[in-house]
Structure 1
Amino acid sequence: MNLDGKICIITGGASGIGFEIAKKFAAAGGKVAIADINVDAAKTAAKSLGEGHLGVDMDVTEPDAVQRGVDKVIDAHGRVDVLLSNAGIQMVKRVEEFTLEEWRKVVSIHLDGAFLTSKAVLPHMYKQGSGTILYMGSVHSQEASALKAPYVAAKHGLMGLARTIAKEGGEKGVRTNVICPGFVKTPLVEKQIPEQARDLGLSEEEVVNRVMLGETVDKQFTTVEDVAHTALFLATFPSNALTGQSIVVSHGWRMD
């Protein structure tokens, strides 16, 4: 699987899953633009990948910031071949405890961010007659869990957005797919363990073994490497035979 110099934008790419995918894309010959709200972290991460990679300032909830970031990539490389919309946050509480501001923040980063970045890159992909858009969904794009209403709603929304763009962009050479990981033990997930233990009245061990890993086949967390391998497979897939789909990476938690 080789990216052959393709230009790849990864939002939220300065750390965690996004950075692991950035490393995988760079190793496969891609030129990576790491777009992150923390521009210093984005530049540091890009520098660590070697020559030819960019760190770009981008708040994915702000249309002008998204456009400026994409314009910087176009100015540097003249094209964009792969977009991975990965930026995201999590808040854990019951529906009635969420404020509207909190709801909007979670949904905006995940879903508005995917829309705005797609809107910014699609004209370039259509002009060149090719492109791949990947969304970082979740098993929660297809399932629901307690305490995560805005996250689950946003992740479900990504499926609709991906399928719509697949329909609109197919004849123009653009495909879209959604990566749906299970629980990946990043700081984002580690933070949820004590929060869910408190809200569900369970021990932290019970949260891990029953809530997070209870439906897996081997009681194992999905790894960032698992997700990165999947992203590279989708980024290098050669045709529209695989578009508008969700690829679940969850140790058997969700089976389709």
Structure 2
Amino acid sequence: MNRLDGKVCVVTGAASGIGKRIAEVYAAAGGKVAIADLKLDAAEATAQDIRDAGGDALAVAMDVTDEAQVVDGIAQVVAHYGRVDVLVSNAGIQIVNKVTDFSLADWKKMLAIHLDGAFLTTREALRDMEKRKSGGAIIYMGSVHSHLASKLKAPYVTAKHGLLGLARTVAKEAAEYGVRANVICPGFVRTPLVEKQIPEQAKELGISEEDVVKNVMLKDTVDGEFTTVDDVANVALTLAAFESNALTGQSIVVSHGWFMQ
């Protein structure tokens, strides 16, 4: 089994959904986990659950679009644990709309959370990793939409494509001090974020919720199944524990065969 014994792992958006499961899996593999989330009380609850299960976790308040909060949050982790070994840039939201109906404010909000947040957290984690020159891993939460497009998701698709470029650049820049950068690209995972989209898309597309699931979300999978949080967390563990630059600058699609590269 992959182990993270003693490695310090920062996971953003980790109070719920995919981020929470990654944090739990990291802690079970011996990692020390910083639960970074917009909602400090929810982050603290997740951290307490991990501690109750015998793990080591710290809650950190972090709006990933706020430079001062990201700088301060990563500094808190370094002050508490001494370093950062793994960053999982996972925080994200979804807003669905036609391009012609999207407000500029919603467009900017989406890009800020997905791209500005990835940049700011990467920069601060890398500054620590560069200083220590003892390796590390940066993992971005992309999507099948890092490779494909869907209607109603222009800023999301744009941002998720952008994460591929950031990861590839970081992989080249940070290789000299042993840091890997990769993107996990899940298919649809039945988190609250996706549950919310089902009725929204049904309304926008004029079809039933069942049709959204079967003929939109899971249409191109090999088995008509949702990806699970465990599927994604296990890949995140492999990427965090991998020991060489052999696996860097890559996107790994975890989607029941939806988009094969």
Give the CA RMSD over aligned residues.
0.7
CA distance in 2, matches of 1:16, 1:193: 17
CA distance in 2, matches of 1:116, 1:123: 11
Where do 1:102-117 residues align within 5 Å? 102-117=106-121
Match of 2:190 in 1: 185
Match of 1:33 in 2: 34
CA distance in 2, matches of 1:190, 1:42: 21
- Residue 127 of structure 1, CA deviation: 1.7
Note if contact 2:110-2:156 (Cα within 8 Å) is conserved in structure 1.
Answer: yes
Structure 1 residues 106-126: Cα deviation after superposition (integer angstroms, max 9, x where no partner): 110011000000011111111
Provide structure 2 residue ranges, at least 5 long, that are not aligned to the other structure. Answer: none
Q: Match for 2:129 among 119, 125, 140?
A: 125
- Residue 63 of structure 1, CA deviation: 0.5
CA distance in 2, matches of 1:128, 1:122: 10
Match of 2:9 in 1: 8
Which consecutive aligned stretches of 4+ in structure 1 deviate over 2 angstroms post-superposition? none
Q: Match for 2:245 among 233, 240, 244?
A: 240
Where do 1:1-256 residues align within 5 Å? 1-50=2-51, 52-129=56-133, 130-256=135-261
- Between the aligned residues of both structures, percent identity stands at 64
Provide structure 1 residue ranges, at least 5 long, that are not aligned to the other structure. Answer: none
TM-score (norm 1): 0.99
Structure 1 residues 74-127: Cα deviation after superposition (integer angstroms, max 9, x where no partner): 001111000000000001110111100000001100110000000111111112
- Residue 200 of structure 1, CA deviation: 1.1
Note if contact 2:222-2:257 (Cα within 8 Å) is conserved in structure 1.
Answer: yes
CA distance in 2, matches of 1:101, 1:128: 39
Structure 1 residues 176-212: Cα deviation after superposition (integer angstroms, max 9, x where no partner): 0000000000111011111111111211111110100
- Residue 52 of structure 1, CA deviation: 3.0
CA distance in 2, matches of 1:187, 1:100: 25
